[in-house]
Amino acid sequence: MRGFFAVQKSCLDAEDNLARARRSFERQGFPYAVELANDRWRILSLRRSRAAEGWIQFPNGGFALLAGTLFYRDLADRKALERLHRDVQGRKLDEDALWGSFAVLLVTRTTLIALTDRTGTFHVYRDLSEQRLSSSFLALADALPRTTIDTTGFYDYIFQEAPHGGGSIFREIQLLPSDVKLLSDGSDTRHVQRPVAQPESTASEPLEDAAERCLTVLRDRIACLSRHYPDRIDTALSGGYDSRLILAMLREGGYRADLHVYGSESSEDVRVAKQIAAGEGLDLTVTNKGKRALVAADDYTDLVTQNFFAFDGYPNDGLFDNGADLAARLERADDDRIALNGGGGEIYRNFFYLPNRPFTAQEMAWSFFSQYDPRLCTARFSNAQYQAGLAQRIAESAYASTDVSLSRDQVEFLYPYFRCRYWMGRNNSVNNRLGLAVTPFIEHAVISSALQAPLQHKTLGLLQARMISKADPALAAYPSAYGYSFDREPPLSYRLKYLGTYLRPPSLRRFTYRLRRQPPLPQQLQLPYREAVLGKLAYIQDYLQVERITDPGQLNRALSAEYLFQWANTDQDDEV
């Protein structure tokens, strides 16, 4: 919906950078631009529609820019931006009152401060010199004189669905860390650390108390959302915990929302959602993305190009779909609605399915980040080096080292601040390009409350089920996709299935993916469509044995990376 691009005046090619960025944003669907400046920076504020203005000018010559969805001190959007700018300049910033999925630039005549939400659900990109900042990966890539493939970022994208650890798919582009604010004044640019909470859990807190404490924090966020966007909330309803908890919180507060579910009529999510909607008299939109007709191969390039610019280059799921994903996201943003995403609700569950003991960073890499088969790679890939690098990035995200084991509390910290920061952040950034969007569970105060909950309450989903039951007993009583309702204890059959993963050691989990049977490749990933869009592969065959890839998601991302590299005319070098 809104974006920005900033370049230091000292860059020899600053004028050209601005022109390139403006053209890039236009191709991405941001035709409206305003240029602003202070003593050191030139900045573009861009938006998709005239009504989505994302900047404020102040009488003293300062200004502030917003991209994404912002809340501060019970204010929203531009009013929140105005108060945030005033508080930062007066050194009165209240980090605990600042949340959403956003990036802001706060500017005076001599200074520029850039910061995002602390959980990193909105990505800001910077070049290695930090002379350029952009809310758009493609705009920054367009402005740079040269791009080269970051091998680690590339393999992360294929295997983990997004680069993890602060890099990107290009060596010249990195993320602005979400645990710092970038401060540029005089001739200096530096990072200033922001407070990071790593609360310790306690084994003594009763389940009832933990559920009520977590609900209290979440109620505040849901109430704020509903006050500012009454009757303009869109959220999913499926068969799982997370969407049920969001709906329960909305209903508890007396708020309404537009509900949707994705899937075929036979899917468990659709079956459960329709049963709840019928029983509670709720309107529900059912969308089967798979039924959307696929255009002919000769016309498919236009669809991939549309996805490429709408999704800022390389989305989690790839560019090669039938067009239903973009259509669904745009529909959710209609009528200035705010899209809520239940992603991240696993903060209330034992996401990694691991026992209550310390684990090394390498064991964490084996447990969750080994969903690939190294035999599909070329000689450029060293699995030992890749896994060691993953372990290093995992440890750094937990403010630890690979020399010592991570405490069980640090393991819980990794889900929101490693997995969600990079994987979910990529997806949330795309949603905020198209409209207002927020993930209430992946928010600093909400996460902090969940980190304090005893692990035994998160195991088997007990904590989240209890939260749903306390907020809305009627909703909790409906069946779920797990085979039982959330107002009851999980049955023995589910407990035994759960133990099958829970008791499997990390040293074995790293091989599980290789035994998995993959579904058939959809038509758009087969040779006629691939060749119509890409022609001859020029890049990815140096990294992957493309014809051996049977995982549709990994192949989609590989082809999407090829499209990006061809578009950017990426330099090929001898990096190994």
Residues 272 and 329 in one domain: yes
User: pTM for this one?
Assistant: 0.96
Q: Give a yes or no: residue 391 inside a domain.
A: no
Q: Is 355 inside a domain boundary?
A: no
| Mean pLDDT of the residues in the chain | 96
| Each residue's pLDDT tens digit, 13-56 | 999 999 999 999 999 999 999 999 999 999 999 999 988 899 99
**185 in the same domain as 87:** yes
Q: 70 with 96, same domain?
A: yes
In a shared domain, residues 560 and 461: no
| Average pLDDT of span 336-347 | 95
User: 193, 217, 233 — which closes off a domain?
Assistant: 193
Q: Is residue 360 part of a domain?
A: no
Across-strand partners of 64?
Answer: 56, 106
In a shared domain, residues 166 and 307: no
| Percent composition of the chain: helix, strand, coil (DSSP 3-state, to 5) | 45, 15, 35
Q: How many CA atoms lie within 13 A of 348 on its CB side?
A: 29
Does 512 fall in a domain? no
- Asked whether residue 446 is domain-assigned, the answer is yes
Judge if 129 and 152 occupy the same domain: yes
Of 146, 170, 193, the position where a domain reaches its end is: 193
Rounded to 10 deg, the angle between the 462-471 and 207-228 helix axes is 60
State mean pLDDT over 338-345.
Answer: 95
The CATH number of the domain holding residue 111 is 3.60.20.10
Backbone angles phi, psi at 562, to 5 degrees: -60, -45
Residues 216 and 84 in one domain: no
Phi (first) and psi of residue 528, to 5 degrees:
-60, -40
> What span, in angstroms and rounded, lies between the C-alpha atoms of 320 and 557?
8
Average pLDDT over residues 110-136: 97
User: Of 177, 20, 61, 38, whose CA–CA distance to 114 is shortest?
Assistant: 177
Average pLDDT over residues 409-432: 96
Confidence of residue 573 (pLDDT cuts 50, 70, 90): low
| Tens-place pLDDT, residues 237-293 | 999 999 999 999 999 999 999 999 999 999 999 999 999 999 999 999 999 999 999
Q: How many domains does the chain have?
A: 3
- Structural domain includes residue 401: no
346 in the same domain as 248: yes
Has residue 371 been placed in a domain?
A: no
What φ, ψ does residue 156 adopt, rounded to 5°? -60, -45
What is the structure's pLDDT at 576?
Answer: 39
Q: Give one DSSP letter per residue of 350-418, joined into a string.
A: TTT---SS-B-HHHHHHHHS--S-GGGB-TT--HHHHHHHHHHHHHHHTT--TTSPBPHHHHHHHIIII
CB within 8 Å of 385: residues ≥ 6 apart: none
Residue-level pLDDT at 284: 97
> Is 432 part of any domain?
yes
Please give the C-alpha separations between residue 376 and each of 16, 381, 382, 549, 555, in angstroms, as whole numbers. 41, 10, 12, 7, 11
Average pLDDT over residues 396-425: 96
CATH for 267: 3.40.50.620
Looking at the structure, tell me whether residues 57 and 98 fall in a common domain.
yes
Residue 527's pLDDT is 96
Domain range enclosing 225: 207-350+407-501
Same structural domain, 253 and 180: no
In tens, the pLDDT along 529-551 reads 999 999 999 999 999 999 999 99
One domain, residues 180 and 243: no
Q: What backbone phi and psi angles, to 5 degrees, belong to 70?
A: -120, 140
Taking CA atoms, 222 is separated from 136, 367, 429, 461, in Å, by 28, 33, 20, 21
14 plus 125 within the same structural domain: yes
